[in-house]
A and B are shown apart, each in its own frame.
Chain A
Amino acid sequence: MPSLKEVRIRINSVNSTRQITSAMKMVAASKLRRAQNAILNMRPYAQKLQHIMQDLSSDMEGSDEGLYSAIRDEEKILIVTITSNRGLCGAFNANVVKSAISLAEGRYAEQYKKGNLSIMCLGKKGADGLKSYGITPVEVNNEIFDDLTFDNAVPIAEHLMAEFAEKKYDKIILIYNQFKNAAVQLLQEEQFLPVVESDDGDTNGEENNSNYIFEPNKEEILEALVPKAIKVQLYKALLDSFASEHGARMTAMHKATENADELIKDLKLTYNKARQASITNEILEIVGGAEALNN
């Protein structure tokens, strides 16, 4: 049986760990709320943009041989992993890393062997995870999550778009956690460039024969809109990942707090048993001593 002092020290240390995890849970919860708000604020913009693009492209099918929709042979691939900068959020980062590795060794094994597969990491943990597998990311950006706004996401999107346009990469894939609710994250792997036509089959039957005036003309407006849509796609992925991170951390910290509670309960029991045993021992000694004196 451990001594009283040992048990007391353990109880204290578990207690302070519990305080930290429960504080982290609170922080994650409040950050999650903010991240969720950001998603909600962004949604109308994305929807309206989609709507306008549909209005525009409804009667100019097939003529969009744009800079960002050119489909080339998949020779040089870039995988962009979106993870967090900090750990302690369960399997959140490990899932992204695992998915990137399985892409590299599965679908794009050929390109990987030839050294034509690059990985770019947004978030430190993804880079750390990949390094332990012996893959060095070409680029790492850790600052984006310090202040996640659309203005800060735009340079990254523009950088990726430029590299795609320069034919440095033939295909760019995003891997991130999509936010479903605070407890559930869905790992997403989506094609970022070339642009995929979002055919949701969303022909609402509502013919938009409003005879829009296009200023200056359809093609030029569409040319201005497509890059915006691409930027919004990246921003959406970043926001989703950010909210997921806090959701995952909240769940992980909640479980940690619960485990600490259980540990403390067990330790308290051991402590009380040890205390009782030492009291019994003392009484026995006193009784034994008194008995010896009487004789």
Chain B
Amino acid sequence: MNLEIITPDTTIYQGEAELVQLPGIDGSFEILNNHAPLISALKEGKIKIKKEGKDQFFDIKGGVIEVLKNKVLILAE
């Protein structure tokens, strides 16, 4: 799936990913390939991205996520 993480200052991630783990308001959740359309609010925490077996982490202070047709968009702060 295609993943984009955007902050007001810059785009911090753009590209493919196999798995994203996110700090949702009601608890942590993961998104895999072909996830159903979703809009959710995020709270402070870590985003974990898995790509070709490698893990990558980003700290965020809150944000929103939109998933649509295998495109994941995260607006983070």
Contacts and interface: CB of A to CB of B under 8 A. Distances in A.
Interface of B is mostly: strand
Nearest to A222: B41
B39 A235 contact: no
Given A215-B39, A216-B25, A224 B9 contact: no
Interface string B43-77: 00000000000000000001010101100010101
Given A42-B8, A52-B64, A228-B77, A212 B37 contact: yes
Nearest to A227: B62
B73 to A, nearest CB: 6
Interface string B1-41: 00000111111000000000000111001000000111111
B2 to A, nearest CB: 14
A132 interface: no
B7 A215 contact: no
B7 A45 contact: yes
A224 B7 CA distance: 16
Nearest to A37: B10
Interface of B: 6-11, 24-26, 29, 36-41, 62, 64, 66, 68-69, 73, 75, 77
Contact of A45 (B8, B24, B25, B39): B8
Given A48-B6, A150-B8, A221-B64, A213 B38 contact: yes
A61 interface: no
Contact of A44 (B6, B26, B40, B68): B6
Contacts of B75: 45, 48-49, 52, 228
Interface of A: 38, 41-42, 44-46, 48-49, 52, 55-56, 149-150, 154, 210-216, 220-221, 224-225, 228, 232, 235
B40 A221 contact: yes
Contacts of B41: 215-216, 220-221, 224-225
26 contacts: A42-B8, A48-B6, A48-B73, A49-B75, A52-B66, A55-B39, A56-B39, A149-B9, A150-B9, A211-B36, A211-B37, A212-B37, A213-B36, A214-B38, A214-B39, A214-B40, A215-B41, A216-B25, A216-B40, A220-B25, A221-B40, A221-B64, A224-B25, A224-B64, A225-B41, A228-B75
B40 A235 contact: no
A234 B5 CA distance: 21
Nearest to A149: B9
Contact of A232 (B8, B69, B73): B8
A215 B11 contact: no
Contacts of B39: 52, 55-56, 212-215, 221
A232 B41 CA distance: 17
